[in-house]
Amino acid sequence: LVRALIAARDNGCHVINMSYGESFVHETGGRFAELASEFVERYGIIFTTSAGNNGPALTTVGAPGGTCSALIGVGAFVSPSMMEVEYSLHQSLPATNYTWSSRGPAPDGHMGVAIVAPGGAIAPVPTWTLQGKQLMNGTSMSSPNCCGGIALIISAVLAQGLRYTPAALRRAIENSAAYVDKIEPWALGTGLLQVPAAQKRL
C-alpha cells in the first residue's frame, strides 16, 4: 500500500479508489491512515474508500474508510430504477441504502459514512467464470462509482483552469449531496453524490 501511494504521487494521480476494508480495534487508524492523510494534505490526492458491508447495525464502518476523516467513506445506495433493472422487481420500492451497507459512527464519533453512491453494478467479470457479465453488489461498487464522479468534477475544474484543494472539493461534494428521505443519517452521510451540483460549488 505504501508503494502504491508513492507510485500515485509520482504519476500525478488526482484521485484514488480503495474498494476494501477491514475491522479495527483502535480508531486512530494506524500507519496507512496516517500516510493517506499526509498524501491528502501534502499532495492533494483525493481518496474514496468502501464504508464496509457489515450493516445495518450502527458503528459497523470498517478501516480505513470509516476511521480516517481524510478519506471519503462511501455507503451503498440503491434507487428504484436500479432495483427494477438489477433485481427484476415487479413492484417499485422507495430509494434506500442496502441493508448491509455499513453505518457510522466510528468509535471516535466521526460520521464514518461521508456520502453514498450506487452500490450495485452489472459489470464484466474474468473470462474463467464462463460468463460475460455479473451483478456485483457492495460498497466496493459504490466507492468506485463515487470516485468516477469525483474524477469528472476534477476534470471539469482543471479544464477551466481553476484550482481546488481537497478540503474545498470535499466541502462541495458534501454540501451539494441530495438528501434521501427515510435513510438514517449514519447510513446516508451527507447524502447522495450529485456531480454537476458539486462542480458548480467549486
Q: Express each pLDDT in 38-54 by its tens digit.
A: 899 999 999 999 999 99
Cis peptide before 56 (omega within 30 of 0): yes
Q: Is the pTM of this model over 0.95?
A: no
Please say if the pLDDT value at position 181 is more than 60. Answer: yes
Distance of alpha carbon 189 from its chain centroid, rounded? Answer: 11
Please say if the pLDDT value at position 28 is more than 60. Answer: no
Q: Which residues pair with 77 in a beta bridge?
A: 97, 118
Mean pLDDT of 132-154: 94
Q: Tell me, what's the pLDDT at 127?
A: 87
pLDDT category at 26 given cuts 50, 70, 90 is low
Tell me the pLDDT tens digit for each residue of 65-85: 777 888 999 999 999 999 988
- Distance from C-alpha of 51 to C-alpha of 21, rounded to nearest angstrom: 7
Alpha helices in the chain (DSSP H): 2-10, 31-43, 80-87, 139-159, 166-176, 185-188, 195-200
Cα-based distances in Å from 80 to 72, 104, 126, 147: 25, 24, 29, 22
